[in-house]
Chain A
Amino acid sequence: SQQGEEDPQALSIQEGENATMNCSYKTSINNLQWYRQNSGRGLVHLILIRSNEREKHSGRLRVTLDTSKKSSSLLITASRAADTASYFCATVDTGTASKLTFGTGTRLQVTL
């Protein structure tokens, strides 16, 4: 299956700034999820947004979904050094029994 694209590939910001990552996909989806991966570790589930939802919030995270443009964005507000990680979007395509297809990822570096 074809992966989605994430943009930017890498992002470097200072602590306190907001970070925005974008994800585009090509299929019809059931839902889209965002995950975080610290270097050399597994993935941590951040948020899930269903295809009939447009926006979702969780703490400092805000996710939007535009199914007409087949895109999603993840906004991290008031970033912290501990937010430094790679962030991946993943789609569950319709008819795939909940199989995740991951995007290419954005490496976020938050400096003090």
Chain B
Amino acid sequence: GAVVSQHPSWVICKSGTSVKIECRSLDFQATTMFWYRQFPKQSLMLMATSNEGSKATYEQGVEKDKFLINHASLTLSTLTVTSAHPEDSSFYICSARENRGQPQHFGDGTRLSIL
């Protein structure tokens, strides 16, 4: 149980393109989803927290107009990297949690490469 599917797993696109990443909880309803960014051989840095039906809470230093998050249902959250540039290249990972106090379950990540 507690499977989180993230799609796509890998994307390469040109600079200036907007890229959408989907995060789905397959067998549970996720009241909260989290989006992380990870650079090579480094730890995960939380970008934003999204609760279903409300606006995402962004961490300090994360541009909300650059990284658009939508959590319109209890099983789906999306992260859109708008007008992506090479410095946005990274590994993006989502997680989902059913209720507060329960563990987060992670997707397999999306490797984003901007040329």
Contact = CB atoms under 8 A, between A and B. Distances in A.
B109 A42 contact: yes
A97 interface: yes
A105 B43 contact: yes
B6 A100 contact: no
B43 A104 contact: yes
A112 B28 CA distance: 38
Interface of B: 4, 6, 32, 34, 41-46, 49, 91, 93, 95, 97, 100-101, 103-109, 111
Interface stretch (A43-51, A52-60, A61-69, A76-84): A43-51
Of all A-B residue pairs in the complex, the 5 with the closest CB atoms, nearest first, are: A42-B106, A43-B106, A42-B108, A102-B43, A45-B103
A35 B103 CA distance: 10
The winner among A3, A33, A40, A43 for most chain B CB atoms within 10 A is A43
A45 B34 CA distance: 15
Nearest to A103: B43
Nearest to A38: B108
A48 B97 CA distance: 14
B51 to A, nearest CB: 10
B104 A100 contact: yes
Given A42-B6, A48-B103, A100 B46 contact: yes
A97 B100 contact: yes
Contacts of B49: 97, 99
Contact of B44 (A33, A88, A98, A107): A88
Contacts of A104: 42-43
Contact of B106 (A3, A44, A99, A103): A44
B109 A40 contact: yes
Contacts of B46: 99-101
A7 B91 CA distance: 23
B115 to A, nearest CB: 20
The winner among A33, A42, A98 for most chain B CB atoms within 10 A is A42
A88 B106 contact: no
Nearest to B49: A99
B111 A88 contact: no
